[in-house]
Amino acid sequence: MFKIKITISFLVLLFSSIKLLGQQVHTPALNEEALEGMNRKFSISSTNNDSQFLHVEGKPNPGIVWIKNFLFESGTIEFDVKGKDVFQESFVGIAFHGINDSTYQAIYFRPFNFRSNDPIRKKHAVQYIALPENDWPYLRKEFADKYEAPLLLDVDPNNWFHVKIDVSAETIKTYINKDKNPVLVVKPLHQASMGKIGFWTGHDSDGDFSGLRIISKK
C-alpha cells in the first residue's frame, strides 16, 4: 500500500510537471521604474490590507501604462481591475502585442454598462479592438455583436473584478471572475504575434489594476 501511494504521488507530480513544461509564469512588479505611461499619469497605492495596486489617471483620448522590457506572444494574462459606474467615463482593460503606442490589440470593459437597463448598452460590456485599423466604431458598424458582448455574470461596476485572457494565434478568449465560460471569444485581427503589454484606459477614464500574472507559452 505504501508503494502504491508513492507511485500515485509521483505520477501526480510528473503530470503536473508535464503540464507546466513549455510555460513561464511572470508577475511583473508594479513600481514606477518598471512602468511607462503613454498619455497617462499613474501612481502606486495600497489598499487597507497593504496590497499594492496601480492607479491610472483619466484624461482625453485612450492611454496605456506599458510594462517595460517585457514581450508577450501567447499564453494567459490575468489581472484584477476596478472601474466605476459613471456613463462614458469608465473604460478599463489590457493592451497586448503592442508594437508602439498606436499599434496593439486590447480587451477592455465598460463597467457603466454592466447593470444597465438598456439592452443595447448591456451588450457593450466587454470589447475587443486591434489598432490602428480595427477600433470599436468600425467593428461595431461592420461586425455588430461579434467583437463585444454582455457579461454572463452579475458584476458590481464599482468593485474589483478578475479577468483572465487566453491568447493564441487562433483565438482570444476572455473570462470574468470564476466563470468557466468565456464572455467573449474572437479571432485576432492583429498581424503582430508578439509585443508589449500595458494597462489600458479609454477616453476620460481612470482605473485601478492589481494582481497581474502572465503565463507565457514558449
Residue 12 lies in a domain: no
Q: How many domains does the chain have?
A: 1
Q: Assign 23 a pLDDT band (cuts: 50, 70, 90).
A: confident
Within 10 A of 191 (CB to CB), how many other CB atoms are there?
A: 10
Residue 14 lies in a domain: no
Q: Assign 10 a pLDDT band (cuts: 50, 70, 90).
A: very low
CATH number at residue 199: 2.60.120.560
Residue 99 lies in a domain: yes
Residue 66 lies in domain: 25-217
Residue 184 lies in a domain: yes
Residue 78 lies in a domain: yes
Residue 13 lies in a domain: no
> In the predicted model, what is the mean pLDDT of residues 89-114?
97
Q: If you average pLDDT over every residue of the chain, what do you get?
A: 90
Residue 46 lies in a domain: yes
Q: Assign 193 a pLDDT band (cuts: 50, 70, 90).
A: confident
How many percent of the chain have pLDDT more than 70?
A: 89
Give pTM, 2 decimals.
0.89
Residue 109 lies in a domain: yes
How many percent of the chain have pLDDT more than 90?
A: 81
